[in-house]
A = this chain, B = another copy of it.
Amino acid sequence: MKEIRIGLVGAGWMGKAHSSALLDAQMLFGPDYGVAVFEMVADSNEASAKEAQHKIGFKRMTTDWKEVVSDPDVDLVDIATPNSFHYEVAKEALNNGKHVYCEKPLSISAEQSAELAELAAEKNVVNYVGYNNTMNPANAYVKDLVETGKLGKIMKFTGTYDQDQLLDESLPITWRHVNKLAGCGALGDLGCHLLSVSQFIMGDIQQVNAMTSTIFPKRPKAAGSSEMADVENEDIVTFMAKYANGAAGTISASRVATGRKNRLAYEIQGTQGTVCYDLERMGEVQVYFHNDNEADRGFRTVLLNPHHKGYSAFQPAGGISIAYNDMKILEVHELFAAITQGAEYACNFEFGYKIDRTVDAVLESAKTNTWVHIE
């Protein structure tokens, strides 16, 4: 039983979610994959830091994150800060030889992420980005269908991530609408989740061609205020993609997609089969096999079951709902298995960088109205 001493940077909602997932993972998988020790928590807001210390049970707290990343009793730096701080914290943690677990996105620019990925590769540490959708048993199943060739040669990927949480135009400006803090709009907030799934299953994108729309270009400065502020980034993004594997892609994201609550949906067409998924129906995958008998052929509604990676951690039989949050539990389990057992993992900093460079290319394309090559 190995102890992993955790230094959490950022004591907000996501920091707590990480800690809670660590506890749940330990209950599900037992101590062989490492036992979390809540060593130290940092938050610039002292009250938040104290509250997290109290609630989660950290031994120590600080308002200076640099103490965490340099502390000799911290094995793993867990970064749950606002996105714009990821780069700085991760860099110093790596330089101190810590394992790093960074909430998605890796940073808010491809350049920063490239630097972090390179640095992480130099150091002999686990470098993990929290793209939790890659842990979804449904996506693991689809990846398997693609990689084993059951779908034949992949021809087309069509995906969208649509929500309508920002549909109400009276909702005020937040950090999400400000590029310095968020990097971009729907693309960063929602699209990069979809991109992580695409990267995981389909591999690299080589070219993109994008357009964006901002449906509500101004929002109140505060709730109820009549003073308006500019929304700096896109409500909707759409782009075409060319994959390294030869497939064509169409990808979009919207934070104002009326009626859509959590629609991370995609379709992959191959010459031997087609598969569809929609996160609003998390527990089922639609798959069609061209070689099925013609009279009996049709899209199969496959309910997630223990034959799909990750599912059996939660349920012994198929068709039983697992939670969105369970993907975070699988994620921290994979992180711990990487640290204690050297297990492989997909979402390293290189992976995170690939998402971020695609995001940058999409934004550039939307600005220049041209195809943009990646790398």
Contact = CB atoms under 8 A, between A and B. Distances in A.
A213 B248 contact: yes
B321 A322 contact: yes
Given A258-B270, A323-B321, A371 B371 contact: no
A50 interface: no
Contacts of A292: 300
A174 interface: no
Give me the 7 closest cross-chain CB pairs, A-B, nearest first: A261-B319, A259-B288, A323-B323, A295-B307, A262-B319, A282-B321, A298-B302
A66 interface: no
A369 B215 CA distance: 27
Contacts of A155: 213, 215, 236, 254, 256
A213 B324 CA distance: 36
24 contacts: A152-B258, A155-B236, A156-B213, A156-B236, A156-B238, A156-B254, A162-B269, A164-B290, A211-B242, A250-B252, A258-B273, A259-B297, A259-B298, A261-B305, A263-B319, A281-B281, A281-B284, A283-B321, A284-B298, A295-B307, A298-B303, A299-B300, A320-B324, A323-B325
Given A300-B296, A321-B323, A323-B314, A258 B281 contact: no
How many monomers of this protein are in the complex?
Answer: 4
Contacts of A285: 298
A20 B314 CA distance: 13
A280 interface: yes
Given A261-B303, A262-B317, A300-B301, 7 more contacts: A158-B252, A258-B274, A261-B317, A263-B319, A298-B300, A298-B303, A320-B324
A135 B296 CA distance: 19
B258 A272 contact: yes
A56 to B, nearest CB: 10
Interface of A: 20, 27, 141, 151-153, 155-156, 158, 160, 162-165, 167, 209, 211, 213, 215, 236, 238-240, 242, 248, 250, 252, 254, 256-263, 269-274, 279-285, 287-290, 292, 294-303, 305, 307-308, 314-315, 317-326, 369-371
A288 B252 contact: no
A164 B250 CA distance: 19
A290 B271 CA distance: 26
B261 A318 contact: yes
A38 to B, nearest CB: 14
A369 B369 contact: no
A372 to B, nearest CB: 11
B258 A269 contact: yes
A302 B297 contact: yes
A373 to B, nearest CB: 11
B289 A296 contact: yes
A248 B211 contact: yes
Contacts of A314: 323, 325
B308 A295 contact: yes
A212 to B, nearest CB: 8
B238 A320 contact: no
Contacts of A162: 269
A26 to B, nearest CB: 11
A7 B119 CA distance: 53
A163 B167 CA distance: 34
Contacts of A242: 211
Contacts of A303: 261-262, 280, 298
